[in-house]
């Protein structure tokens, strides 16, 4: 279809408080960073148009011809602090990708990843939880006091069906662009893997007007 709208992806960012979720998003979308910490309350939203040149994209029947595919990522940044988490199930539903963030200088934030992942799977209840696209980011690699090794993080990702893993610094813009490229690509794969819904539903059965709306004499019938 020539008039197809740009694909819109819903990306949710989860992780402990102050691991740098908001900073990563701001670095990616606005190319800005601040040392100041402002706890996110509820959620923040940002959108960004991205180009993904991907084989997965062009293989889809309903997609335009091969070539760069403009799309729009809507990034839903959440609050890590427990007292600000009360967004409800509906908030997570229908996400195309979930980004799990930890702070490489904080072992605690790494241990929480399991919890965040489970929490997401329960709330969002995606149809195929084993293959839902998560992307894991180990943030703040610019700092010296590193406490979670690359190997340990990679092992965890491996144990969860091989989740993509990136070591990032929102502060120095290390790997942020690359990480979000992968996020967008995986989200898009999730979004576009769709059967065509063009089979007709069953024919209406005429039941002699026994159901309320069809029978005559009801409210607002032009009869």
Partner 1 sequence: MVNKIGYDMEETQETDTTTLISDINDIAIQDPVVSKSVTENEPVPSSSEQGSSYEILFDQLKEKNKHIFVLSTAGKPIYTRFGNENQMASLFGLMIALVSVTQDSNDTLQSICCGQTRIVFLNKDPLILVGVSQSSEPYDQIKKQLTYVYNNIISTLTLTQLKKIFHNRTNFDLRRLMSGSERLIDKLITFTENDPGFLLDSISCLQMPSSSRDKITQTILTQCSKIKNLVFGLLIAQKHVISIVRMKKYSLHVSDIHLILNLINSTESFKTAESWTPICLPTFDSSGYMHAHISYLAEDCQACLVLLTIDHNLFFTLSDAKRKITEKMRCNDCLHAINEAIIRQPISLARANITGLRHLLYKNKNRSQHWCPPFTSPYNTDELQQNLMSVYCSLISQINFPGRTLKVIFQQLTAETMLAWATEDVELYMTFEPLVSKECATNAVTKLTQWMKKEEDSLFIFNIPMF
Ligand X SMILES: Nc1nc2c(ncn2[C@@H]2O[C@H](COP(=O)(O)OP(=O)(O)OP(=O)(O)O)[C@@H](O)[C@H]2O)c(=O)[nH]1
91 contacts partner 1 (rule: CB under 8 A): yes
Residue 102 is given by DSSP the state E
Taking CB under 5 A as the criterion, which residues in 45-64 touch Mg ion?
A: none
Count CB-CB contacts under 10 A for residue 81.
Answer: 13
122 contacts partner 1 (rule: CB under 8 A): no
- The one among 22, 105, 106, 139 contacting Mg ion by CB under 5 A: 22
Nearest residue (CB) to ligand X, 116 versus 156: 116
140 contacts ligand X (rule: CB under 6 A): yes
Quick one: CA dihedral 66, 67, 68, 71, positive or negative?
Answer: negative
CA distances from 113 to 3, 42, 124 (A): 41, 20, 16
Nearest residue (CB) to partner 1, 162 versus 208: 208
- The one among 39, 51, 59, 89 contacting ligand X by CB under 6 A: 39
85 contacts partner 1 (rule: CB under 8 A): no
Quick one: CA dihedral 55, 187, 17, 37, positive or negative?
Answer: positive
Which does residue 170 touch among Mg ion, ligand X, partner 1, none (CB within 5 to 8 A, set by kind)?
ligand X
- The one among 27, 40, 139, 175 contacting Mg ion by CB under 5 A: 40
- The one among 18, 60, 74, 123 contacting ligand X by CB under 6 A: 18
80 contacts partner 1 (rule: CB under 8 A): no
Cα(191)–Cα(2) distance, rounded to whole angstroms?
19
- The one among 7, 22, 134, 192 contacting ligand X by CB under 6 A: 22
Residues in Cβ contact with 132 at an 8 Å cutoff, skipping those fewer than 6 apart: 98, 121, 124, 126, 190
Cα(20)–Cα(29) distance, rounded to whole angstroms?
14
Taking CB under 5 A as the criterion, which residues in 192-211 touch Mg ion?
A: none
């Amino acid at each position: 279809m020539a008039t197809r709208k740009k694909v819109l992806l819903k990306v949710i960012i989860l992780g402990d408080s102050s691991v740098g979720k908001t900073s990563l998003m701001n670095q990616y979308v606005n190319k800005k960073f601040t040392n100041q910490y402002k706890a996110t309350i509820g959620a923040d939203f940002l959108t960004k148009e991205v180009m993904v040149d991907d084989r997965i994209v062009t293989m889809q029947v309903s997609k335009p011809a091969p070539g760069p595919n403009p799309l729009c990522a809507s990034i839903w940044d959440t609050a890590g602090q427990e007292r600000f988490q009360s967004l409800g199930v509906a908030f997570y539903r229908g996400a195309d990708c979930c980004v799990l963030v930890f702070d490489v200088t904080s072992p605690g934030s790494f241990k929480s990843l399991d919890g965040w992942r489970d929490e997401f799977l329960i709330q969002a209840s995606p149809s195929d939880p084993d293959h839902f696209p998560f992307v894991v980011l180990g943030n703040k690699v610019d700092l010296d006091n590193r406490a979670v090794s690359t190997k340990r993080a990679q092992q965890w990702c491996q144990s969860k069906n091989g989740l993509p893993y990136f070591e990032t610094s929102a502060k120095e813009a290390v790997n942020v662009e690359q990480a979000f490229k992968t996020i967008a690509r995986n989200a898009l794969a999730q979004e576009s893997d769709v059967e065509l819904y063009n089979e007709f539903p069953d024919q209406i059965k005429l039941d002699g007007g026994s159901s309320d709306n069809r029978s005559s004499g009801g409210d607002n019938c032009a009869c």
